[in-house]
Structure 1
């Protein structure tokens, strides 16, 4: 009888361990779904930020503000496609057709220089080490894959979340023990505010980079400047890797005009990135979230390796949320160290 009583706690512990293992396996299997859900949260945060901005200008309710934002975004996108859709499509077609020849012409020019062999070796090494990440980042803007259904799900989910954010927040807090709900609620509020601030700042930087790139390439006479500016705008959402991937097609097309234009194009991308890194980002980070560059770099590598293009696209906003949660829940609440938490005062 005593032996059977001793077996009860042991059996319970074994069952708990097995349940945790099953949950971990299930979470790993559903990781792509979780990424889509987080993508919907990011888009919803963008919609809510725009709705709050509209409410500062016009005194309207939350639902009406969200509806106006969605109508303006949909109408603005339709107008842009009507005005520039044919031009962008034509430039994208020319871009994809010209890139192989542009790369061959660049290699031919490189072989004729004194540093040609050295640079070729370095390019091969860089392509071997970063080929997967750069090609995945480039696929965000250049190719359209089978993720159309996923994009639709993210968009619809974002609208639902933005329409009733408090309901989803309260439902998530119900999963937390009552004694920890207040702390968890504060952490969720801070992470949501930090995410909105980061998105707003990143969109400003993306617009500036896209406009400067398109205008600069047009002045240099590089082919397809509008399409290249659009690529620079889109890929700037992915820090560090995105700007590198966006510069490659522009530089290659610059060399199809002349070696001088190719070098000038490379200098243009470098100057724009210096403006963004040393002028725009410091101004944005005063009101947003300043992520350590090493943390951001390795988050891109980790999430890009786990989830490919989707992981690269969502790595930065996911890092923002995790950064806030770790500082709030672990450093401050668990370790008792007082630190500033981005977004807690917003």
Structure 2
């Protein structure tokens, strides 16, 4: 390799290292781009009704802040009270119920088998280290809560800046590409914005349907605070494969304290809702919006959670949507397809030249020159 090539190689390695060190900041920037794209889509819908751009942006921001504040007022207080009741009152009742079940079971089995049954004390000894670890993590979380707040404020500020002047930031990003590729990069950005908008609409539809069905099912079973738990189920549906599993834990625990059969009923209701969402709703909605294979979704969640932490896990799906567009347009269309076309043209030229004799080829060339 020449000196210039070595310099370019080291510059590439240093750039990749800097990007890796700034990965959390880049994820926060992508989160701001995602929120700004969502609000920009809403502002465009409002502009179709004759609303000016500044007013439509303000309305979109107002709706976003209203949803954010409503979440904290509707979801957080009921869960705090339910968690306090669960730990102070209901948990001892569950332990007593478990102890009574164990005593009844020991009468039905042999003494040799009964010694393997866990009792309340053994469960307490096993759960206590887990609770201590959880408390330590909670203290660590609260100690870093200032950083979380600052990151949240950074995302909000970046979102406002992107909404105020989206064209300027887009032009600055396009100028990072070589001059011959800037028009193509601008077209790929259009496709990324279109795909993100379609995915956001599909995700919102799925979340809304799951939330409504969960509220109806919990209300029919008589579970306390069905609205808060249904809204939480809809929000956790944003995280496929794992979010629905987390959403069923709290309503099952609360229903178990009321009546054991209700826990099974809650599980059946959530199972039916997820089957409807997975097999009917999501394929139909995403077929109209943007499609992601289930295996690709799961692998993307594992990949981004492993290398980028919880923030990468939450942003795995939109990152996959954008990555899918760039791979299809750059790697497949601009590299692989063009390379295949070039090879086919060379192969056709070789076949034509081999099929002609030297004299025939010379006569054909002279005729073409004369014409």
| Counterpart check, 1:35 vs 2:36 | no
1:195-344 residue pairs with structure 2 within 5 A? 195-336=196-337
Bigger Rg, structure 1 or 2: 2
Q: TM-score, normalised by structure 1?
A: 0.78
Question: Hey, which bits of structure 1, 4+ residues long, moved more than 6 A?
Answer: 109-112
- For 1:83-98, what aligned pairs fall within 5 Å after superposition? 85=73, 88-98=75-85
Please state how far the C-alpha of 1:206 moved relative to its aligned partner: 0.9
Distance of 1:315 and 1:41 partners within structure 2: 14
The alpha-carbon distance between structure 1 residues 90 and 62, as it changes in their structure 2 partners (threshold 3 A), is closer
Deviation at 1:104, TM superposition (A): 9.0
Is 1:18 aligned to 2:18, yes or no? no
Alignment of 1:107-126 (within 5 A): 108=98
C-alpha distance in 2 between matches for 1:60 and 1:324: 31
Structure 1 residues 90-110: Cα deviation after superposition (integer angstroms, max 9, x where no partner): 411133235555699499499
Q: Deviations over 1:252-279 (max 9, x none)?
A: 2221122210000001111111221223
1:312/1:95 CA distance change after superposition, 3 Å: farther
User: What SS does the aligned partner of 2:223 have?
Assistant: coil
Unaligned 5+ runs, structure 1: 1-8, 118-134, 338-346
CA shift for structure 1 position 328:
1.2
CA displacement 1:127-185 (0-9 Å, x = unmatched): xxxxxxxx9xxx9xxx9944122111112211211222221111111011111112211
Contiguous gaps of at least 5 residues in structure 2: 110-115, 117-133, 339-371
Q: Is the 8 A contact 1:36 1:150 kept in 2?
A: yes
What RMSD, in angstroms, separates the aligned Cα atoms of the two structures? 3.1
Is the Cα–Cα contact under 8 Å of residues 214 and 233 in structure 2 kept in the other structure? yes
Secondary structure at the residue paired with 1:336?
helix
CA gap of 1:102–1:195, structure 2 versus 1, over 3 A, is farther
- 1:103-182 equivalences in 2 (<5 Å): 105=94, 108=98, 145-146=145-146, 147-182=148-183
- Which residue of structure 2 aligns with residue 120 of structure 1? none
Distance (whole Å) between structure 2 residues aligned to residue 88 and residue 103 of structure 1: 25
Pick aligned residue for 2:58 from 67, 72, 76:
67
Inter-partner Cα distance in structure 1 for 2:192 and 2:85 = 44
CA contact (8 A) 2:75 2:232 kept: no
1:98–1:53: structure 2 CA closer, same or farther, 3 Å change rule? same
The 1:104–1:242 alpha-carbon spacing in structure 2 relative to 1, beyond 3 Å, is: farther
C-alpha spacing 1:294/1:150, structure 2 compared with 1 (3 Å): same
Partner of 1:126: none
CA gap 1:103/1:286 in 2 versus in 1, 3 angstroms: farther
Partner of 1:49: 41
Bigger mean CA offset, 313-322 vs 175-184:
175-184
Deviation per CA, 1:195-229, whole angstroms, max 9, x where unpaired?
A: 01101111121112122212311221223323322
1:216/1:268 contact within 8 Å kept: yes
